[in-house]
Every structure is written in C-alpha cells, then in structure tokens.
Chains A and B, each alone.
Chain A
C-alpha cells in the first residue's frame, strides 16, 4: 500500500508569490491534516479536513488555506508569501476523524527568498 504522497518535495518561491502544495492520502483514508515545521516553532497544526470539510484550524493567518477533494486528496495554498513561511509542510492522513494513528508524508520543503 502506497504511503502518503506529497508533491513537490522541494519548492523555491519569492516573497509575494503564492504556492499550492498537494497531498495524496493513503488509499481509503478520508481524513487529511496539515502541519508546518520550522526550526524555531517546531511542528504546528495548520488544519484538518474530512469529507471535503474543514474540521479544525490552527492559529495561522488567513493567507493559509486548504481544501479537500471528493477523492480525499488535499491541497494547501499560501498566498502572499513571506520569508517566515519557509518551512517543511507535512501532510498526515488517517482512516477517519479522531483516528488513533496518523500517517505522515515526507513533506514539502518550501523556501521563500
């Protein structure tokens, strides 16, 4: 069974641009959540989607948004990029909401110049 797939693996953008990251969950998993990891703040929860609906949101500005499609694949978008948005963005999937076990992808490393 394929794991959680995140694309692209690496991305370089400049300030002010926008970016879209993609996450394909494990087959059969219906819940997808996103995390941001930086050296200073560590791993922080961004948002969670289940059945195409956002279920939970972390404390991030509105520039960070996401969505989930009917096949459970998810995308997150960051508009008007800032230098501080440079981070590893991780996606996790699970069978359902409140699942005991989350499966993480390897992440997308975003660098904002």
Chain B
C-alpha cells in the first residue's frame, strides 16, 4: 500500500469548512483513497473513499487531484463534534481488510 503524508494538526472555526490535505504521491492505479476518523475513546469511523473522481456523501466530500497524487477531505460545516484524528489511507480494493494507518491529522474545531 502506498504511503500517505498528512499535516500533524489543523484548527478550524466552528461552522466553517475544514479542508484536510493528504499526499499520496506513490499511489498505484488500482489503489483507492480512504478517509477514517477517530474521536477520542472510540474506534475509527469510515468517512468516505474514492478512486479518481470526486466523491460526496452525507459526511464529507473528497477531492482527488487529476494525477491522483494528493487529495483533500472537506467537512463543509465543521462542528465541535468533528474534533478528531483524521486518517488518510491508501489501499488496494478487494485486497483484504488490512488498513495501514499513519499518524493522521488532529483536527480541532473551535467555537
């Protein structure tokens, strides 16, 4: 699985959009980009995933650059409950359920 690089921490004002970047410059053509988050004292929670097209669901949007070497997770209207560690993971689809977690980005949403 390709390695990912994320900033260690970010702050965001409540109600504003939170944009979390991820670099995955060695991503292969058959690897997807996944985002999970972990709120304190809980297990990780799936947010969204994508291959090359931008994706949106009820939680967030995922923007993947055309060369697929980086992506941005967007939380459109961050709330205090979005304070968590956000993990960007690259993995091959249907290659088992092994996820390789990096250090992630600590997002602090402030009022």
Contact = CB atoms under 8 A, between A and B. Distances in A.
A in complex with B: yes
B93 interface: yes
Contacts of B42: 104, 106-107
A18 B39 CA distance: 29
B46 A48 contact: no
Interface residues of A, number: 27
Interface centre among B44, B100, B103 (most CB of A within 10 A): B44
B43 A94 contact: no
Interface residues of B, number: 22
Contact of A90 (B44, B87, B93, B97): B44
Interface centre among A56, A94, A97, A101 (most CB of B within 10 A): A101
Interface in B25-40: 32, 36
B95 A107 contact: no
B98 A45 contact: yes
A17 B94 CA distance: 37
B41 interface: yes
Interface in A98-113: 98-107
A98 B99 contact: no
B97 A99 contact: yes
A101 B35 CA distance: 10
Nearest to A33: B97
Given A90-B44, A92-B43, A107-B43, A102 B99 contact: yes
Given A100-B49, A107-B43, A58 B98 contact: yes
B100 A90 contact: no
B24 to A, nearest CB: 17
Contacts of A105: 43
Contacts of A26: none
7 contacts: A4-B43, A48-B98, A55-B97, A56-B96, A91-B43, A92-B44, A97-B97
Interface of B: 32, 36, 41-46, 49, 87, 93-104
